[in-house]
Amino acid sequence: MAGDAPLVQQMASTTLADDGDSSPIWAKFSCRVLIRNIICRPDGGVGLAGQKVAVGGWVKTGREQGKGSFAFLELNDGSCPANLQVIVEASVAPLSQLVHTGTCVYVEGELKKPPEGTKQNVELKVEKVIDVGPVDPAKYPLPKTRLTLEFLRDFVHLRPRTNTISAVARIRNALAYATHTFFQKHGFLYVHTPIITTSDCEGAGEMFQVTTLLNDAEKLEKELQKNPPPSEAELEAARFFVKEKGENVARLKSAKASKEDISAAVAELTKAKESFTKMEERSKLKPGLPQKDGKIDYSQDFFARQAFLTVSGQLQVEGFACALSSVYTFGPTFRAEHSHTSRHLAEFWMVEPEIAFADLEDDMNCAEAYVKFLCQWLLDNCLDDLEFMVKHFDKSAIDRLKMVSSTPFKRISYTEAVELLEKVTDKKFENKVEWGIDLASEHERYLTEVIFQKPVIVYNYPKGIKAFYMRLNDDMKTVAAMDVLVPKVGELIGGSQREERHEVIEKRILEMGLPLEPYEWYLDLRRYGTVKHCGFGLGFERMVLFATGIDNIRDVIPFPRYPGRADL
C-alpha cells in the first residue's frame, strides 16, 4: 500500500481485481468489498484472513461489550442473506453511534479468523470508521423483534432492510435475469411495448384511464373563480363599442379624411374586435369536463381519444412477432380490479413471449422449458436465500423447485380436467365444477397438488371464457388456449395460439361486444401477410410466490399497488 493514504483511496487508484483465493474481490464502482464476496466463498472467508478491506452496510444488531471498550456489529449490505461480524473498539469511534439497528456504517479494517468455538468463519477488526448514517433508536420504526409482513407494508421504503424482503428482492432479481437469459439464449428479441394504450387486450374493461381532462377542468375552475367570464351586459357593451368604432371608420372614409386619421381609426376598430372576440371566447368557458352530444368529449383530451394503462403488452408485441419471428416483452401491466385478495395487485409485471410460425404445441413446449429453466436457475444461483425461505416460510420450497425443474409436465384438455374434477369425492369445492366454467384456483391446485402432484398444462378451453384473439378450434366450441398450473399458486402461465384468420377474429371481436375501430391496426396483421403465431404471459409476481412460498402477492413486489394504497 502506498504511504499512509486511507485504504479506500489506495484501492481506488489501483486495479480492483481478484488475485486468487487469498485476495478479496473489490467492487468495480464502489471502494469496498461486498459481504457476499467475503463470507459466501467456499471456505467461508477463512482464506481472506489477514487481508485489508473496506465494507459498508446496515447494522442488523449491535451490542457493546467489555464495559463499553468495544462493540460487535452484525453488518449486512444486501448482497447475501448472511451478516459479517464487525468488531469496533471504543478508541476507533464512539460506540453509541454504531450499535443501533438500522445504522449505516462504512468501515475499513483487517479480516481475522475468530477464536475457536465461534460460529463465524471470519470477522472484521475495524481500524477506521469512514462514514456513519446514524439512527435514533427511539424513532426507528423497524425494531429488532420479528415483524409481520403485513406490518412491513406500512414501511415499504424501509422493508428491504429486513431479511425476508431482501431475500425476496434477490430471488426476484435472479428470476428477471434468468428470464432475459432464457429468451436471449433461444433467439428472442426483447421489445418494449407501450404502457399507455387505447385497446383492452383482455376485453374485461377493468382498466385505469389516462386523462388530462380532470386537471384541465380543475385549472379552468380556478381560473374562472379568479377571473370570472364576462356578463351578458359586458358582452353587449363590448359589441356596441365595436359597432361604434366601425361607424367611425365608415364616417371618416365618407368624409375623405386623411390616411393617418383613417389608419388610426381602423387600428382602434381592430383592437376593439380582438378584445370582443376574447371576451366572447371567455363567455363560453364553463366549469366541468368538455361535452359533446351529452357525453365527455375525449377529442379535447391529451391523446384526442380515450387512453388507458395497459393490461398486457401482447397485442403490440404480436406486431413485432409478425416481422421478427421470436420476440418477448417484460414490463408492468395494470388492472383496476377492486380486489383485496392475497393474489391480486393493481400493478404487476408480465413476461410475454410471442412466436411466429408456431402453434399451440410449440407454445406449451416453450412455456414448460421456460418454467423449468427458472426453477433450475434459482437452485443454482439462490440457494442461500431459498434456504432462508424454507426455514421461515415454506419447508417445501426447494423440493418444489427441484420437482418442477426435473419433471415432465402433465398435459390434459380442459374437458378431461373437468371430468376428473367432477369425479372428486374427497373434497367439496366452493365453486361448482361443470363444463364451461373458468377453473378456479381451488380446482387448479387440486389438479396439480393432489391428482397429478406435478405441474399440469390444461389446453383447449371453452371459447366463452377466453379472449377474442385465441384461435377457434374446429369444434367451434373451444379455442387453442393453454394454462400452466403449478403447485402452491395454481395458474402461473396463460397462453394460446392466436387467431390468424381475419374473418374469424373480426367476428369474435363483435361477438364479445367490442368495437372494431380500436383494433383496426391489430386486424391489419391478419390482412397483410398473416402468419400462424402463439404466445403466453407469465405473471412474474406469481412466479416469485411459487419460488418463495410467501402467501401474499403484496410481499413479493417492491412497491405494491392495491385498492387504497399507492402512497410511495
pLDDT, tens only, 525-565: 999 999 999 999 999 999 999 999 999 999 999 999 999 98
| In the predicted structure, residue 385 carries a pLDDT above the cut 70 | yes
pLDDT of res. 12: 47
Nearest residue to 491 via CA among 542, 420, 423, 430: 542
Residue 514 lies in a domain: yes
- The pLDDT of residue 449 is 96
Cell (9 digits) for 376: 433450475
If you average pLDDT over each of 220-224, 294-298, 322-326, 512-516, which comes out highest? 322-326
Q: What is the mean pLDDT of residues 109-118?
A: 91
- Domain assignment present for residue 83? The answer is yes
Whether 547 and 495 share a structural domain: yes
22 and 38 belong to one structural domain:
yes
The whole-number pLDDT of residue 217 equals: 78
Q: Rounded mean pLDDT of the chain?
A: 92
How is residue 360 written as a grid cell?
A: 399451440
Which of 140, 155, 178 represents a domain boundary (last residue)?
Answer: 140
pLDDT band at 2 (very low <50, low <70, confident <90, very high): very low
Q: Give residue 3's pLDDT band: very low, low, confident or very high (50, 70, 90).
A: very low
pLDDT for 51 equals: 95
Q: Is 52 inside a domain boundary?
A: yes
Report residue 32's pLDDT band, with 50, 70 and 90 as the boundaries: very high
Q: Cα-atom radius of gyration of the chain, to the nearest Å? A: 33
Q: In this model, does residue 339 exceed pLDDT 70?
A: yes
Residue 201 has pLDDT above 90, yes or no: no
Residue 408 lies in a domain: yes
Task: Please check whether residue 152 lies inside any domain of the structure.
Answer: no
Single out the residue in 266, 300, 334 at which a domain terminates. 300
Same domain, 433 and 507: yes
Residues 321 and 293 in one domain: no
Identify the CA nearest to 397 among candidates 377, 380, 383, 381: 383
Residues 30 and 100 in one domain: yes
What pLDDT, on a 0 to 100 scale, did the predictor assign at position 117? 80
Q: What average pLDDT does the segment 68-73 reach?
A: 95
Strands 456-462 and 410-413: parallel
User: Is the same domain home to 202 and 223?
Assistant: no
Same domain, 359 and 465: yes
Grid cell at residue 75: 453488518
Residue 251 burial (C-beta neighbours within 10 Å; 0-12, 13-18, 19+)? exposed
**Does residue 199 surpass a pLDDT of 80?**
no
The pLDDT value given to residue 8: 57
pLDDT of res. 87 = 97
pLDDT band of 291, cuts 50, 70, 90: confident
Count of the separate structural domains present in the chain: 3
Task: Give the long-range contacts of residues 504-507, CB within 8 A, separation 24 or more.
Answer: 504/472, 505/468, 505/469
Banded model confidence at residue 220, pLDDT cuts 50, 70, 90: confident
What integer pLDDT is reported at residue 289 of this predicted model? 83
Give residue 10's pLDDT band: very low, low, confident or very high (50, 70, 90).
low
Q: pLDDT digits over 35-64, tens only?
A: 999 999 999 999 999 999 999 999 999 999
Last residue of a domain, one of 300, 325, 354: 300
H helical segments located in 354-495:
360-381, 383-392, 397-406, 414-422, 441-446
3-state secondary structure of 260: helix
Residue 224's pLDDT band, with cuts at 50, 70 and 90, is: confident
The pLDDT value given to residue 178: 98
pTM for the predicted model, two decimal places: 0.88
**Residue 432, Cβ density class (10 Å: 0-12 exposed, 13-18 middle, ≥19 buried):** exposed
* Half-sphere exposure for 285 (CA within 13 Å, toward CB): 20
Question: What is the Cα–Cα distance from 388 to 76, expressed in whole angstroms?
Answer: 15
CATH of the domain at 30: 2.40.50.140
Q: Is residue 24 part of a domain?
A: yes
| In a shared domain, residues 322 and 227 | no
**Which CATH number belongs to the domain containing residue 475 in this structure?**
3.30.930.10
Report if residue 256 sits inside a domain: yes
Which range, of 22-26, 94-98, 131-135, 437-441, averages the lowest pLDDT?
22-26
Q: Which amino acid is at 412?
A: I
Q: In this predicted model, what pLDDT tens digit does every residue of 230-282 receive, in sequence order? A: 888 988 998 999 999 999 999 998 988 898 989 999 999 999 999 989 888 88
Backbone angles phi, psi at 360, to 5 degrees: -60, -35
Same domain, 331 and 290: no
| Domain encompassing residue 287 | 213-300
- Judgement on whether residues 115 and 258 belong to the same structural domain of the protein: no
Tally of CA atoms within 13 A in the half-sphere of 536 that contains its CB = 29
* pLDDT score for 21: 60
Q: How far is CA 368 from CA 151, 363, 492, in A?
A: 36, 9, 11
455 Cβ partners below 8 Å, 6+ apart?
368, 371, 404, 407, 409, 410, 448, 484, 485, 486, 487
Asked whether the beta carbons of 553 and 539 are under 8 A apart, the reply is no
Task: Say if residue 417 is in the same domain as residue 483.
Answer: yes
Q: What pLDDT sits at residue 204?
A: 56
Residue 203: pLDDT band by 50, 70, 90 thresholds?
low
Half-sphere exposure (Cβ direction) of 247: Cα atoms closer than 13 Å: 6
Per-residue pLDDT band for 290 (boundaries 50, 70, 90) equals confident
Judge whether 148 lies within some domain: no
Q: Report the share of the chain in percent with pLDDT over 70.
A: 95
pLDDT value, residue 489? 92
Q: Which residue in the block uniquely carries the three cell numbers 375623405?
A: 256
Q: How confident is the model at residue 19 (pLDDT cuts 50, 70, 90)?
A: very low
Residues 412, 404 contacting (CB under 8 angstroms): no
Helix/strand/coil for 343: coil
- Of the pLDDT bands very low, low, confident and very high (cuts 50, 70, 90), residue 31 is very high
pLDDT value of position 383: 97
Q: Cβ atoms within 10 A of the Cβ of 192, count?
A: 11
pLDDT value at position 119? 86
Q: Which residue has the higher pLDDT, 279 or 422?
A: 422
Together in a domain, 175 and 243? no
Task: Work out the average pLDDT over 332-360.
Answer: 93
Q: Over range 437-458, report the average pLDDT.
A: 96
Condensed to tens digits (0 to 9), the pLDDT of residues 301-316 reads 999 999 999 999 999 9
Enumerate residues 6+ apart whose C-beta is below 8 A from 84: 35, 38, 39, 55, 57, 74, 75, 76, 122, 123, 124
